[in-house]
Amino acid sequence: MTTPPELIAERDGAVLVISINRPEQKNAMTRTAAELLAGALDELDGDPALSVGVLTGAGGTFCSGMDLKRFAAGERPSVPGRGFGGLTERPPAKPLIAAVEGYALAGGFELVLACDLVVAARGARFGLPEVRRGLVARGGGLIRLPRLVSRAVAMELILTGDFIDADRALAMGLVNRVVADGAAAAEAIALAQRLARNAPLALSASKRVVVESADWPLGEAFARQIPITDPVFASEDAREGAVAFAEKRAPNWRGR
């Protein structure tokens, strides 16, 4: 009997749908799955036919964190230079949307925090319970969460290890939209297809400025975005966007 792959990547037009595929283990992350995820993200960034990625989990769970049994045996589910799951230290240049069903805990929540947009099923649960296992959320949870919510709320979640539901995550600004259970992937793919209708160079440059400008001094911010945004304004796609608007037709993006 053939063992199913621990991660599946499938194309849906310009969208790459990436599914962690260990449902019997609540999609707990392994080194193999992390390496496969890193490879899928390289495919996303390296193929001009792809514009947006969607990250989800099979079997009604996003990701329950690292596989603790494998951790106890000495395995670390990270990729050098890429971090936990092959994602948290180096997210893709192109937009990545998390589609969350069930649990997104510990490293699983850190994968979500590394994504750009989040669609959550109503039954989704998020949390950083590392302190309950004698660990710390060093896959980005301690760094990203306090930048996304208030310090007091981040401290409470980090130090108690408590979970929050999708509605509270939405109210805190961690989630873009909440949908019915079972509908997160379909909604995330529909959202990804909306993004993919936009110019690919503009998508990547816009994401880069948002991410990198977080620690730019305000007095330098406009100047520092120029080397990132000037190539977009000088691109064939910029000219195509203007011509398509004038001709009242859909643009034909070429990514150059």
User: Are residue 16 and residue 54 in the same domain, yes or no?
Assistant: yes
User: Are residue 172 and residue 76 in the same domain, yes or no?
Assistant: yes
Residue 106 lies in a domain: yes
User: Are residue 73 and residue 157 in the same domain, yes or no?
Assistant: yes
Burial label for 56, CB within 10 Å (0-12, 13-18, 19+), is: buried
pLDDT computed for residue 191 by the predictor: 98
Are 88 and 140 in contact by the 8 Å Cβ rule? The answer is: yes
Looking at 196, 221, 236, the residue that finishes a domain is 196
- Return the closest-CA partner of residue 65 out of 78, 82, 79, 74: 78
User: Are residue 218 and residue 189 in the same domain, yes or no?
Assistant: no
Residue 253 lies in a domain: no
User: Are residue 211 and residue 119 in the same domain, yes or no?
Assistant: no
Q: What is the CA radius of gyration of the chain?
A: 19
Residue 46 lies in a domain: yes
Q: Tell me, what CATH number does 178's domain have?
A: 3.90.226.10
- Distance, in Å, from the CA atom of 230 to the CA atom of 236, rounded to the nearest integer, reads 12
H or E element: which one contains 144? Answer: helix 141-148
State how far the alpha carbon of 30 is from the alpha carbons of 21, 43, 65, 88, 90, in Å.
11, 20, 9, 14, 18
Place of tokens 């990436």: 18
Residue 192 lies in a domain: yes
pLDDT band at 1 (very low <50, low <70, confident <90, very high): low
State how far the alpha carbon of 168 is from the alpha carbons of 59, 67, 142, 205, in Å.
23, 27, 19, 31
Q: What percent of the chain has pLDDT over 90?
A: 86
Three-state secondary-structure class, residue 163: strand
pLDDT band at 69 (very low <50, low <70, confident <90, very high): confident
Residues annotated as part of the active site: 110, 130
- Distance, in Å, from the CA atom of 253 to the CA atom of 215, rounded to the nearest integer, reads 32
Domain carrying residue 206: 200-246
Are 134 and 176 in contact by the 8 Å Cβ rule? The answer is: no
User: Are residue 96 and residue 205 in the same domain, yes or no?
Assistant: no
DSSP states of 1-21: -PPPPSEEEEEETTEEEEEE-
User: Are residue 97 and residue 209 in the same domain, yes or no?
Assistant: no
Q: What is the pTM of this model?
A: 0.94
- Return the closest-CA partner of residue 161 out of 138, 131, 137: 131
pLDDT computed for residue 4 by the predictor: 82
Look at residue 168 and tell me whether its pLDDT is greater than 60.
yes
Looking at 196, 217, 236, the residue that finishes a domain is 196
pLDDT computed for residue 57 by the predictor: 97
User: Are residue 159 and residue 240 in the same domain, yes or no?
Assistant: no
pLDDT digits (tens, 9 = 90+) for 25-35: 999 999 999 99
User: Are residue 72 and residue 31 in the same domain, yes or no?
Assistant: yes
Residue 157 lies in a domain: yes
Please state the domain count of the chain: 2
User: Are residue 92 and residue 156 in the same domain, yes or no?
Assistant: yes
pLDDT digits (tens, 9 = 90+) for 108-152: 999 999 999 999 999 999 999 999 999 999 999 999 999 999 999
User: Are residue 120 and residue 26 in the same domain, yes or no?
Assistant: yes
State how far the alpha carbon of 83 is from the alpha carbons of 40, 76, 86, 107, 133, in Å.
15, 10, 5, 10, 20
User: Are residue 26 and residue 152 in the same domain, yes or no?
Assistant: yes
